[in-house]
Amino acid sequence: MDSSDRERTKLNPPTGIPHNLPYSGVIKFVGRSETLSTLHQKLQERERVAICAIAGMGGIGKTELALQYSLYHQQQSTYPGGICWLQAGKIDLGTQIVNFARIKLDLQPPDDWDLEKQVSYCWRHWREGEVLVILDDVGDYQAIESYLPPAELRFKVLVTTRRQSLGEFEQLNLEVLSEEESLELLVSFVKEKRIEREINEAQQLCRDLGYLPLGLELVGRYLKRKQDLSLAQMRQRLGLEHRSLQKRSPDMTAKRGVAAAFELSWQELDESAQELGCLLSIFALAPIPWGLVEQCLSEVDEEDLEDVRDEALLDLSLLERLGEGSYQLHQLIREFFSGKLEQLVEANQLKGRFCQVMVVEAQNIPDEPTQRDIAEATPIIPHLAEAATVHKNWLEDEDLIKPFVGLGRFYEGQGAYLPAVEWREECCLEARTRLGNEHPDVATSINYLAYLYKLQGRYDEAEPLYLQALALLKKLFGHKHPNVAISISYLAGLYCSQGRYDEAELLYLQALALLRKLLGNEHPDIATSIHNLAYLYNSQGRYEEAEPLHLQALELRKKLLGNEHPD
């Protein structure tokens, strides 16, 4: 595939092949023709299932190579069964696979199945023909193993990774560009005469950057903007700022070359652009919904913020636009901005704002999310996880468990119980560590974990947790408190699920009586408590007793919440 073929791919994309390929913003893709041919040969292996890993250092162009290969073969209709692009290590892979199958293939796995069963259903019912599945930026084989497609020759799997030994795959190690290819890449940004005029300096500049595509592109874009800057002056700036670039260690040169290129762009940013770049580095290494950035900087005029983004970060190739309202930092740029963040006086303030926004987003995830709720929350989840882990020290005490609760709801609502349990358990641990063993949020986190165990049928593990939470709430608030009554209802719900109806009924009645005494007869919690009792009677076949209670709860909710409330 030559460059003209690749350019036609961008101009005339075919229709009919289901795909979710991201946008490629390269002006000219150079130096990888033989590698692309080798990659195709490996993926067209007929003797065994083809899984090929593109490996190499950060900034080497692994993702771009995979994307260019995919775009070309989308044009050629090589994979009529579809091209599925998955971001490893971000949102759960199973969620991405199911979303692709629903949107692109019109498959509808049963909603009441857990996530692994839904993924298996999608693979079994996938569109006919050869299929290309790309897993981008894989760091751990175990994280993808259970989501790989079945061992059928029609499925071709392409992995990009920094690791040299990820798994038993066909591996394609991506090397830096040659000097000739590096100069060709520079010429795509800077006029050829300008390079020819200082060819020796251009060759040395490529060496200074370690022939790394990312560094070459950034410097090329910088030179394009600086028409009067000679290549000798460019090299002098690089050398003055980062003398370590002169070290020729192949393991270190490229990384430092990139840092030096970033530093050049950083010096061109005004204070507001620098602050924005630093704020973006607080987000996870994932697509960033721009609305979240606006919330973090709510005091800044929206149009002014867009100008900083478009005219500074995007213009200097420090930020990538993925699609409408979605942006992302390259990993190495993010690391660079993160280092600059720690030098800012406002660093703690920015981290605090980020966490406040994530708390609000976490609270927007309902207890029982619909498919629409899941779809809306999906782009936020990596950033919510970042707040709950990397930046947890900037969460206020009263907000500490909220990101964990939101993450638990997101995965629990899809039947993805393994990650849900991990977040619920981590929530309990963090609450105890920060707040101590005797705090209302500790009881809340315990109740959430118990509920998840109940959903999984792990009743023996759920019951002691419910009892523990109830005892803690009684100790903190006394026996006559709404939180105690609600916790009693949770325990009753467990007994109902186990068929321990007599015990459940006593507890439901006790909770209802306590809530009426504390809240009166007209309160949403009263309606919920009456509904719980009605559900118990219904489960026992005591329909004549259940019906009036259902009606009573319904009328009370209409009175309190109106006729158009979800409850």
Exposed e or buried b per residue across 334-372, where buried means at least 16 C-beta atoms within 10 angstroms of its C-beta = bbbbbebbeeeeebeebbbbbbbbbbebbeebeeebeee
Q: Given the DSSP bridges, would you call strands 170-173 and 326-328 parallel, antiparallel or unpaired?
A: unpaired
**pLDDT for res 234:** 86
Q: Please report the beta strands in 1-49, taking only residues with DSSP state E, as ranges in sequence order.
A: none
User: E-strand spans in 116-154?
Assistant: 131-138
Spans of the chain, pLDDT less than 50: 1-14, 239-257
Nearest to 156 by CA among 48, 24, 68: 48
Number of H helices, E strands in the chain: 27, 8
- The confidence score (pLDDT) of residue 181 equals 92
Token pair in block for residue 540: 């026992």
Q: What is the pLDDT of residue 225?
A: 80
Distance CA 410, CA 230 (A): 54
Q: Cβ distance 318 to 215 under 8 Å?
A: no
Tell me if the pTM is above 0.75. no
CA distances from 466 to 66, 439, 469 (A): 50, 15, 5
* DSSP-derived secondary structure for 203-220: HHHHHHTTT-HHHHHHHH
Q: For residues 409 and 381, what is the distance between their CA atoms, to the nearest angstrom?
A: 11
Query: Tokens 């708390």 sit at which residue?
Result: 359
> What pLDDT digit, counting tens, does each position of 363-385 carry?
999 999 999 999 999 999 999 99
Q: Which residues pair with 55 in a beta bridge?
A: 161, 173
